Structure 1
Amino acid sequence: MPAADDLIVSSYNESGPVVIEAVICEEPESGGRYTSLLMDDIRVTEDGSQVAADGRVLLTTSDPRPFHYGDAVLFRGTLETPRAFDGFDYPRYLALSGVYSTAFQGTLELRPADEPRPFLVQLATANNALDSAVARVLPDPEGSVARSLLLGRRGLLSDDVQDAFVRTGTAHLLAISGLHLGIIVAAILGILLVLLGRSFYLYVWIGLAALWTYAMLTGMNPPVVRAAIMASTFLFAELAGRQKHAPTALAFAAAAMVSLDPRLLWTISFQMSVLAMGGIVLLFHPLRAMLESTSRGLVARAPLDLPVSSLMLDVAAATVAATAAIWPISAGTFSQFSVVGVVVSLLTLPLLPFALAAVALTAITALISTSIAAPFAWTSWLFTTYIVKVIESFAALPWASVSLSAPEPWILVVYYGTLSALPLAWHVWQRRNAGIQPRTDSTREDRRGSALHYALPPLLLTATLIWAAVLSAPDGRLHVSILDVGQGDSILVQSPSGRTVLIDGGPDGRRTCALVDGRRPFWDRSIDVVVATHPHADHLGGLLSVVQRYGISMVIQPAIQCDSTLYEQWRDRIVAADCTVVSAARGQQMDLGDGTLLHVLNPGEMPLSGTSDDLDNNGVVIRITYGDISFLFAADIRAEAERALTGHAASELQSDVLKVPHHGSDSSSTERFIAAVGPRIAVVSAGQENAYGHPHPAVLDRYAAARTELATTCSHCTVEFVTDGAQLWIRNDSPA
């Protein structure tokens, strides 16, 4: 806590509107529609003057502008005291980071920086560039997992993916801690020892350089720096040829950091860093010897005595050592004990260094060219797909984890006492068996130089990628997916030839991109046409992320202006995307290939004005036809636009499938409009238990009276239509 005689920012909690100037002290974390900003260097405006206040403020905002670490901001709003929820002591959790005040929404202004950009801000900028580069070339969820593994951006993951990591006891993978860096160090040393040997300890110096380069790539956040210091103690002990003194060096480093900031003792990242590196220091060599002895018998008849096999043993030993050391803390932190944790860790963690290396190369090359980055991106996709699929498969088991409270102190004493005794037991066993030499097989030694041994892994990798690409190729049918983006609209259209149209992006770009990626080939990072029907947040908000993540050829939007921050950001981003922008008008037509046609039905030549909502009523209405099957996407048009359409384009409205206008609001779906369209199936895109009451009961009655089958995304999740031009099939993602 700040000193008693200092002004504390929390003294303004629940005291009404305040005006503060602050600096964003960590890279903002986006959770979809909202972004969390941690603000420090607080100066409160009182009676026309500014007063410095201790403490930090955590702000949650839906402001779509890109904020970054080091930005100076002016905030106007209300401060609140953090409150506990669902048994979680949220105030204590925030207090460990010096946060005693929270805020929701308010208004923000970017202010000019008072000083030149410091080194850490420049690192954060480089980190953001790497993050954007990976996002452009890797689909989700693999892309978000890759960015989390490489850059520590855990907030990018969906709730389902995060829960899968927690249930399988692998959540520590998503935080850059001592475990993370310990496994990386083990892999680096294994590779360098094979390539360079022990001459002049080059493998240690290069390992140190690689370790701190990686720390800088992640932005040098305090938890990463602490973990890097811990890992460095292990390397310096190796350099001094005194691995037996590594525990002392590790304890000294931990004590030094705690003396500078005693609050570290209660932070999970510090505890995991110390324990993970302690586990590697104490247990690595005994586990490495046991694994080598076990593997020698298992692979005696197999051509697996490769340099990489030694590397895999190093990584596996480091994995087991670090995981064993952090297990009680991890279980207590997440209140779960994973029954499958050890198995999942052994199946995934040995591949972590290779996944990180592939993602790092992907990020760096994508800064230069997405084309150059493509082979690395495909390799990264393969590694991260394997990790995600293994974790999700085990997480789906009903008995994968059990609820668990924090271990009792006596259990911790017994557990860590046993772990500490294992190295001593190993040394005793080693001395007793010092005279026994393992049998060597000269024929296996001769096979070390075989070119096949070196060629086999890349050949298998290439074959797997080719088959993955073949299996994800277009199937010659039209696919129309009304995506479950919550309270908003987003429709993905994929023509038989593979051309794509995305109509709106929903409110949450992260969610929309994940849904789009799940229905696209992993190697295709382009969208042919994006239709922004109108500039409301529940349709346009997600498109801000879409234009950054994909190569967009064309944007179709209404020729109307909107005075909002969101629309300004949209205009800036489509300019930066350097794509063709077309103003929508009735009568426009586009050939999507193989006889798939896109028709624009609204807005008309003269935009509607003076209506209940001109932005809604001048939204872009699209009709897509393929053979005998047609789809009508009615945006958020209201009764006025429906009336205009039935008067001027009635003959063009008839469609088999209708995306219901305005989420099923009672302001739309008039009887005359429904009769003109005559849909067999209508789909409402709306969020579960939304505040607007969509779809309205009266609207449901109208479609029932017209004998139209109705589906909703809030009940059926994503609704997908597939057609060959003659028949129509419907699928949905509902677990029911």
Structure 2
Amino acid sequence: MDKTWPEPASVPGFALPGLSVVVAGSGWLAGILLAAWFAAFSPFLLLCAAIGALLALAYYWRTRTIRQPLLALLFLILGAWRYTGVLPANDPLSIAHQVSSRVVKVQGTVSDEPRLEGRTRLLKVAVEGITTPGSTAWQAVHGTIEVQISGTSIEDIYGANYGDQLTLQGKLGAPPPHGPADVLAQMTFPRLTITGHGGNSLVAWLYHWRVQFMTLIEQSLPQPYAALLVAIVLGLRTQQLGPLSQAFNVTGTAHLIVPSGFKVTLAAGLVASCMRWLYEGWLATKIGGSRVRSWQRWLSTIIVLLSIGAYTILSGAGSAAIRSGVMGCLLVLAPRLGRSYNIYTALAFTAMGMSLLDPLVLWDTGFQLSFLGTLGIVLFTPHIQRPLHPLTRLPGGHFLVETGAVTLAAQLATLPIFALTFQQISFIAPIANMLTVPLLGIVITLGLLLCAVGLISTLAAAICGWLVWPLLWYMSQSILICASIPGAYLSVTTLDSRLAWLYYLPLSLWLLFLLKHRSSYPAGEKPNIPRESRSNWGRRLLYAGIAITIIATTAIASLPSQATGTTIIDFLRVGPTGKPAQGEAIFIRTADAKTILIDGGLDVPSLSQALDNRLPSWQRSLDLVILTVPRTDHLLGLQDVVTRYRVGTVVDGGMLHPSATYARWRQTIQEQQLPYQSLTRGNVLAVGKYTSLQIMWPGAQLHPSNSIQDNTLVIRLMAPGIRLLLLGTAAQSQYALSQLSSQTTSGALGADIVQIVGDGQQPVRKELSLLVQQAHPSLLIETPPAKQKKGQATDVTAIKLPETLSHIHTVNVGKAGTIEVTGDAQGWKVAPP
């Protein structure tokens, strides 16, 4: 595994090649920074200067006092030359020169996995050609642009994904102000055509499995714990993580939920430990006796290297993960090549390699935090540990000192970057990290195990979910509590980036002073005490507590859900906090504990949270999922639900002319191998022993109409003590209402409660009034439309019933919030909102 900080023997000095790498790397990085500050350098003059420095270095190579300065000078010039070569000003074919208000066509290839931002997808496209509409001549260009398109899935079978070759038509705008450094322009909602597929097939395969593993985790855990595990193990930040993201930022623990080098290191160490059987276990004894054959060690090394590369890509292939992946590979390869591993050499080599491929990586926040954090841990941890050393005499003191020193060292090295990026300075970070970081290895191990066994058995994945759930609960609660402490962090909104250099200058001088005047520690007082000799009481108590929690939680989770004898119907208010409701969703738990979800709304995170609040943490199944109308504001949430839950049966009323959204819905059902039924008038679904669903509409032949509301699935629910008529969007269809009234007797429509999707901006149809009179309800529940029309107010407006229906009590979900109705043998009642 990559060392958190180096052993003392590797710190004081370097072998000659190692020192040369550090000197060259320092010069290279300094050259890039100087070229960024003084953009007037000529690439040709820099190249000539580099040739001169190379000749001087060759001449004075045997003179030690001159060799290292010349080596630094050579790489400083080369770094500046490399940076000036990527500047758009020095590149006439850069896509940055094409930014204008005119409409253009661009050809390119999606070069990275899409990212989600709200209900849009962000694509990074490596462009290859540009032209104007109507022209057949393509002009060669290059560079990366960011493209924003509609979508809510990372991997969209009907959209653009990694490796797809595209033709885009739209306007090229300036790059986003706080976007990636390598993005030179952007397009917003262009006309997009997929013309082929390219990219690296292995990377595409790993990205695909990354999404599959995310789905497995979401099927095995409730939200937001599934989103937290996805972020920890795979580096994906889904919408459901939103409420926790800010808490992680302000407590200085954001490195837990983003792709980081520490996670790659843990995964590499886990694989390396598993590979020891090749040369230390029973197999090695049988094959090679006490002498382990060289090929066994090399096979183990190759497997570890491949695992590091695979997990680096699975965790997002961010700059932090790539940095750690390269250093991890060097750590594994060094002993096989007969070399000693030095962390300074590895850092210099990795930074040079990454910036050689892309000099702009130095302005990537992930790279800055990872590189400076690692360097800070190496340099500052021993000096922070020394004054804290008396605490090691306390129970668990070694653990507290080690974790606190590492956290403070990393925070000390990255404070300006963190403040400028997140506009916050965390004072609670050491405590928050001590509470959570020790569990990171266990959580990643269980998360990877869940992904592996989930490919074989969903039950085994669910068991892994039960095991990791209490740890995720503990981590999330610890972070939330730390974030809520007064004075835990300081918000800084107006900071000058030049303050970072004023911060690092005295910090560097202080470090040089410490290194120059370092003294040996007295015997027995050295902070870097070998792990084998440390007192493990604190760690043992921690692990014992974790084991007891896991056992107790698993025992409770194994208890089956008990029938309550009461039917519970929740009309969910689906939508972000503080914003209007966005579509309808109805969750039903029958008297014998069967579960039904009708429609899903437009906002996936709020639906996920609502469902997980109403289901036991261990239950990842729904007996029945119903789509009443294939509109986006009913369908989008269900699209997510059928991938995260084990669904017994999926029901809808079909569609005459399937849209792309409905086609994706049916494709997802097929991929998940879910039982599917298309129901029409006259069908009856029995859900458990006491509940039945009568399909009242549409007819056997769908009505040929451009309005999909005309074929809305109308359902009448019959349960002990309660009758419910779900009209949904049929309340807005004159055809559906008139056909229901004329073809159905009043007794067949009788209901205690009628539910509709209404629009307070429109008058109530007379057909709806007649139908409601036939049903004779005591309560009318209205779900407002998900989207307000242009020019309408954004607040929720309830429908105004005509005088003939004024005696019916009306409740609006958008205004009142989630409405819960319960029914049993004694009758039904509405819980106060």
Q: What code does the residue aligned with 2:829 have?
A: L
Q: TM-score, normalised by structure 2?
A: 0.73
Please state how far the C-alpha of 1:272 moved relative to its aligned partner. 0.7
Indicate whether 1:547 and 2:633 are aligned.
no
Match in the other structure for 1:85:
none
* 1:368 match: secondary structure: coil
Partner Cα distance (2:803, 2:123) in 1: 45
CA contact (8 A) 2:389 2:525 kept: no
Match in the other structure for 1:326:
414
Match in the other structure for 1:214:
311
1:520-535 aligned within 5 A = 520-535=615-630
Partner Cα distance (1:686, 1:233) in 2: 58
Q: What code does the residue aligned with 2:568 have?
A: H
* 1:78 match: secondary structure: strand
Indicate whether 1:268 and 2:353 are aligned.
no
Match in the other structure for 2:166:
74
Partner Cα distance (1:148, 1:500) in 2: 29
Partner Cα distance (1:164, 1:454) in 2: 25
| 2:119 equivalent among 10, 28, 33 | 33
Paired residues, what number?
Answer: 703
CA contact (8 A) 1:586 1:600 kept: yes
CA contact (8 A) 1:686 1:714 kept: no
Q: CA distance change for structure 1 residues 342 and 633 in 2, over 3 Å: closer, same or farther?
A: farther
Q: CA distance change for structure 1 residues 398 and 188 in 2, over 3 Å: closer, same or farther?
A: farther
CA contact (8 A) 2:557 2:618 kept: no
Match in the other structure for 2:183:
98
Q: What code does the residue aligned with 1:335 have?
A: Q
Please state how far the C-alpha of 1:283 moved relative to its aligned partner. 4.1
Partner Cα distance (1:382, 1:426) in 2: 47
Please state how far the C-alpha of 1:419 moved relative to its aligned partner. 7.7
Indicate whether 1:111 and 2:195 are aligned.
yes
Match in the other structure for 2:829:
728
Q: CA RMSD in A?
A: 4.4
Partner Cα distance (2:563, 2:486) in 1: 35
CA contact (8 A) 2:583 2:783 kept: no
CA contact (8 A) 2:95 2:144 kept: no
Indicate whether 1:6 and 2:93 are aligned.
yes
Q: CA distance change for structure 1 residues 415 and 628 in 2, over 3 Å: closer, same or farther?
A: farther
Please state how far the C-alpha of 1:54 moved relative to its aligned partner. 2.1
Match in the other structure for 1:675:
773
Match in the other structure for 2:666:
571
Match in the other structure for 1:87:
none
Match in the other structure for 1:164:
247
1:316-715 aligned within 5 A = 318-397=406-485, 399-404=487-492, 405-406=494-495, 408-409=499-500, 412-413=503-504, 416-417=507-508, 420=511, 428=519, 430-431=521-522, 457-467=546-556, 476-486=565-575, 487-509=582-604, 511-609=606-704, 614-637=707-730, 638=732, 639-647=734-742, 648-662=744-758, 664=760, 666=762, 670-677=768-775, 678-687=777-786, 691=790, 699-700=799-800, 702=802, 706-715=806-815
Partner Cα distance (1:9, 1:650) in 2: 68
Q: What code does the residue aligned with 1:343 have?
A: I
Match in the other structure for 2:4:
none
Structure 1: gaps (5+ residues): 83-89, 301-308
Partner Cα distance (1:189, 1:72) in 2: 35
Match in the other structure for 2:102:
15
Q: What code does the residue aligned with 1:72 have?
A: D
The structure whose Rg is larger is 2
Partner Cα distance (1:322, 1:186) in 2: 21
Partner Cα distance (1:471, 1:690) in 2: 46
Partner Cα distance (1:165, 1:697) in 2: 37
Match in the other structure for 2:375:
278
Higher mean C-alpha deviation, range 471-480 or range 569-578? 471-480
Match in the other structure for 2:53:
none
* 2:106 match: secondary structure: strand
Please state how far the C-alpha of 1:373 moved relative to its aligned partner. 1.8
CA contact (8 A) 2:94 2:143 kept: no
* 2:176 match: secondary structure: helix
Q: What code does the residue aligned with 1:330 have?
A: F
Higher mean C-alpha deviation, range 180-189 or range 317-326? 180-189
Please state how far the C-alpha of 1:215 moved relative to its aligned partner. 1.6
Match in the other structure for 2:64:
none
Q: What code does the residue aligned with 2:417 have?
A: I
Please state how far the C-alpha of 1:103 moved relative to its aligned partner. 1.6
Partner Cα distance (1:608, 1:271) in 2: 60
Indicate whether 1:298 and 2:395 are aligned.
yes
Q: What code does the residue aligned with 2:187 have?
A: T
Please state how far the C-alpha of 1:619 moved relative to its aligned partner. 0.4
Q: What code does the residue aligned with 2:554 have?
A: L
CA contact (8 A) 1:666 1:696 kept: no
Partner Cα distance (2:678, 2:587) in 1: 20
Q: TM-score, normalised by structure 1?
A: 0.82
Higher mean C-alpha deviation, range 176-185 or range 339-348? 176-185
Q: CA distance change for structure 1 residues 474 and 431 in 2, over 3 Å: closer, same or farther?
A: farther
CA contact (8 A) 1:488 1:663 kept: no
Partner Cα distance (2:354, 2:307) in 1: 22
Identity of aligned residues (%): 24
Q: CA distance change for structure 1 residues 75 and 699 in 2, over 3 Å: closer, same or farther?
A: farther
The Cα offsets for residues 651-672 of structure 1, whole Å up to 9 and x where unpaired, read as: 3444344332245562656433
Q: What code does the residue aligned with 2:783 have?
A: V
| 2:819 equivalent among 695, 709, 719 | 719
Q: CA distance change for structure 1 residues 663 and 191 in 2, over 3 Å: closer, same or farther?
A: farther
